[in-house]
Chain A
Amino acid sequence: MIYFEEVSKMYPDESLALDGVTFSVEPNEFISVVGHSGAGKTTLLKMIVAEEHPTSGSVLVSSEEVHKLRGEAINRLRRRVGVVFQDFRLLPHKTVYENVAFAMEVAGRTEKEICSDVPHALDLVGITRKTWSFPCELSGGEQQRVAIARAIVNQPEIVIADEPTGNLDPENTYEIVQILKRINSLDTTVIIATHNTGIVEALKNRVVVLDSGKVVRDTSNPSLLV
């Protein structure tokens, strides 16, 4: 489903964020990318939706070479991938409902679909109570949930979540992980990036370990990590 081939990324300030990364993700897999802060996790995820371009190497998503796509083809790819950004990136002038609905509008869904799917997605992440609030009126954990709702509302083939539990308490972390698992069980490929080894162990799924832009481990047995 997703292939990274010898992907390297050098930012303009000469910092090497990714260094010859090669790995692949199968359909319906749940994979965690872990590593220290600055290891290149966010950079890696950005490659999948063409937010960043590799300096060398190539990224394929369902056998399309991401960085050769132009114009509308990029938009179509982005609608098939739901992204939960590390900094949420909710639209500040839109309510929770509108933020989630926006992703559906962009995909050209009808009002009827929007009316039935948005509440469903909000319910799935447990934020129905805040439907009509603006992002600035929400706590970090609540914004996190809205970001997840927006990422999943179009039933994408792939969901990417960057630090989905970044600054949450253990209880919320657990809930969010359950939500992601549920999404994965509905035939969605899920990729998360995190430095919380605790979740990784709890998930018991495949883990790719990044260090200074290199893949240093790729294992399906996270308990061996420590």
Chain B
Amino acid sequence: MLFTKLKRVIRSGFLNFWRNAFLSTTSILVMVITLSFIGSIIFLSAILAASLDGVSRQVDLSVTFIPEAPSSEVLALKEDLEARPDVSSVKYTSREEALEGFRDRHASDRIILQTIDELGRNPLGANLTIQAYDPESYQDIAAFLEPEHALGADENIIYRINFRDNELAIERLTSLIGAVERFGLALTVALAFVSVLITFNTVRLIIYTARDEIAVMRLVGASTRYIRGPFVISGILYGLIAALITLALFYPMTFWLGEVTEHFFIGINVFTYYLENFVQIFLITVLSGIFIGGISSYMAVKRYLKI
């Protein structure tokens, strides 16, 4: 009995769907837009997270030592730095490596190379490149390197701290990304909300056209659930189909945007991201579609059930 009813509700849901092909198409299109917004939120937040991550990785503190600085002291300072909880990594470049790098960079410039050779000694100092977990802690780290804090150093072995030069730019970038992230999220949530409302109203329109039918069902004694079931089933079908279309559309869209995002934002290719996180994105999109379609129909039928 229960099974027969369930079977009838599902069959009737499919039939509704098929016989209202035009309206079904309309609501599927609207839902595709809604789901694309939801998908965009996923991609946008991935891009923002990656950019923030990339920016903080690109920002570092480069400490150049005077050529006379003993490497033991430099290495000791490295260890001190590594012990700090806000430091993620410290890369040591010895004087020789620094010179090597310098030569490589100027391999085509004969005059510079000649000058170096004529000098007969290595004019470059060793170097520490410090990365922090959070861009905001560079200030603290820089302060730590000021001579009065640098442990056991009578004379200042540090030639230059390179961070001070672009400190302002980093500060601005960090706050900008924070703002973009907040604003972008607020905007997409608002847009998603609006498109859910539009979906809801489209489905309501469909059900409005069926209000006489609902009245008849009511008057031949159909129960609330029995009337509502097929509409909810068609709503779920709309959602499911819209989700599959959206997922299919994401494929060429992210492929096309992949190159752009890879070069503009720091190192995230949305296409690769899409492929790598497909299962997750699939589930989110399909479940959102089913949920929005089902709930919209459920709510929309409600007001015509009062007879």
A interface residue numbers (CB < 8 A to B): 49, 51, 71-72, 74-79, 83, 85, 89-93, 102-103, 105-108, 110-111, 150
Contacts and interface: CB of A to CB of B under 8 A. Distances in A.
Given A89-B212, A92-B213, A108 B221 contact: no
A102 B212 CA distance: 15
A79 B213 contact: no
A111 B4 contact: yes
B177 interface: no
A51 B132 CA distance: 73
Interface residues of B, number: 22
B207 to A, nearest CB: 13
B219 A49 contact: yes
Interface string B207-230: 000001101111111111010000
A93 B223 contact: no
B280 interface: no
Interface in B213-251: 213, 215-224, 226
Contacts of B25: none
A89 B222 contact: no
A152 B218 CA distance: 17
B57 to A, nearest CB: 60
Given A51-B307, A75-B222, A89-B212, A106 B217 contact: yes
Nearest to A46: B219
A107 B15 CA distance: 20
5 contacts: A75-B222, A75-B223, A83-B219, A106-B226, A108-B4
B172 interface: no
B4 A110 contact: yes
B307 A79 contact: no
Contacts of B222: 75, 106
Nearest to B218: A78
A43 to B, nearest CB: 15
A110 B1 CA distance: 8
A119 to B, nearest CB: 19
B219 A89 contact: yes
Given A90-B216, A93-B213, 12 more contacts: A49-B219, A51-B307, A71-B224, A75-B221, A76-B221, A89-B219, A91-B213, A91-B216, A93-B15, A93-B16, A106-B217, A108-B4
B164 interface: no
Contacts of A83: 219-220
Contacts, number: 51
A134 B16 CA distance: 14
B72 interface: no
Nearest to A99: B216
Which 5 A-B pairs have CB atoms at the shortest separation, nearest pair first? A78-B221, A79-B221, A106-B222, A75-B221, A93-B19
Contacts of B224: 71
B249 to A, nearest CB: 30
B219 A105 contact: no
B4 A78 contact: no
A89 B216 contact: yes
Given A89-B215, A89-B216, A93-B19, A105 B8 contact: yes
A89 B216 CA distance: 7
Contacts of B215: 89
B23 to A, nearest CB: 11
B5 interface: yes
Interface in B13-64: 15-16, 19-20
B261 to A, nearest CB: 46
Nearest to B226: A106
Contacts of A111: 4
A93 B24 CA distance: 14
A89 B220 CA distance: 11
Contacts of B1: 108
Interface in B194-215: 212-213, 215
B95 to A, nearest CB: 85
B105 to A, nearest CB: 76
Contacts of B217: 91, 102, 106
Contacts of B220: 78-79, 83, 102-103, 106, 150
Contacts of A77: 221
A81 to B, nearest CB: 8
Contacts of A51: 219, 307
